[in-house]
Amino acid sequence: MDLTVRNLAVARGGIPVLAGVQFTVSPGRALVLRGPNGSGKTTLLRTVAGLQPPFEGSVTGAEDRIAYAAHADGIKSMLSVTENLSFWARVFGTGEIAPALAAFDLDALRDRLAGNLSAGQKRRLGLARLMVTGRPVWVLDEPTVSLDAASVALFAEAVRAHLAQGGSALMATHIDLGLTEAEPFDVTPFRARPQLSHADEAFL
């Protein structure tokens, strides 16, 4: 099932930031959003994830199929790495956390409290959560922040494996992951025009 976005307009704080966005992400494919800071990538991803309603247009194929990862990893510092992951595995009704630990090289850290992890290790734990959700569509907002080159390679490998299993991914990132399945998608042309009233036009 495709993730389809039709004529989508998204707003942040009541002000439209993107309008007329159209794309489709098929199983096995990834779409990489590009655009300068403040261009509305995060708002677009939150709308696709269902955290905020679309201003206009529609998102189909997203309901209960999305695993969302944002800037914050949602990690409890007083729980161990294993406890954090098992919690999400139980919430999403999947059992196995071992493959996720292995894929993100967290085996050696499994009994460490998450509060004692470095920023990059926390991020890896946050990304490992995606694998235990069992959801087919990954929606990722800057997933590679604070990762070193080796961890970025682990992440790219995890995305590749996910796509090979028929999953799909929609992500905003500035780093080239070297994925052949990924298509870039520039959001700049979809910037919403500032809505001016007639009174303002007289002064232009």
Count Cβ atoms below 10 Å from residue 51 Cβ, excluding itself: 13
We find the least distance from the C-beta atom of residue 156 to another protein, in angstroms, to be 22
Q: Does 71 bind another protein (CB under 8 A)?
A: yes
Q: Which of 195, 191, 171 shows the shortest CA–CA distance to 183?
A: 171
Q: Does 88 bind another protein (CB under 8 A)?
A: yes
Q: What share of the chain is helix, strand, coil (3-state, %, to 5)?
A: 35, 25, 40
Q: Does 87 bind another protein (CB under 8 A)?
A: yes
Q: Does 68 bind another protein (CB under 8 A)?
A: yes
Count Cβ atoms below 10 Å from residue 126 Cβ, excluding itself: 21
Q: Does 138 bind another protein (CB under 8 A)?
A: no
Please identify, among the stretches 15-23, 50-58, 98-106, 177-185, the one whose residues bind another protein according to the rule CB under 8 A: 50-58
- Given 23, 73, 97, 123, the residue binding another protein (CB under 8 A): 73
Q: Does 176 bind another protein (CB under 8 A)?
A: no
Region for 74 from its dihedrals, namely left if φ exceeds 0, alpha if ψ lies in -120 to 50, beta otherwise? left
Q: Does 93 bind another protein (CB under 8 A)?
A: yes
Q: How far is the CA of 62 from the CAs of 47, 69, 82, in angstroms?
A: 10, 15, 28
- Given 90, 98, 157, 178, the residue binding another protein (CB under 8 A): 90
Distance CA 32, CA 146 (A): 19
DSSP H helical segments within the chain, as ranges? 41-48, 81-91, 98-103, 119-133, 149-164, 198-201
- Given 8, 17, 18, 66, the residue binding another protein (CB under 8 A): 66
Shorter beta-carbon distance to another protein: residue 41 or 129: 129
Count of residues in the chain? 204
- Given 41, 123, 129, 160, the residue binding another protein (CB under 8 A): 129
Q: Does 78 bind another protein (CB under 8 A)?
A: yes
Positions touching another protein (CB under 8 A) are: 49-53, 64, 66-79, 83, 87-88, 90-93, 129, 133
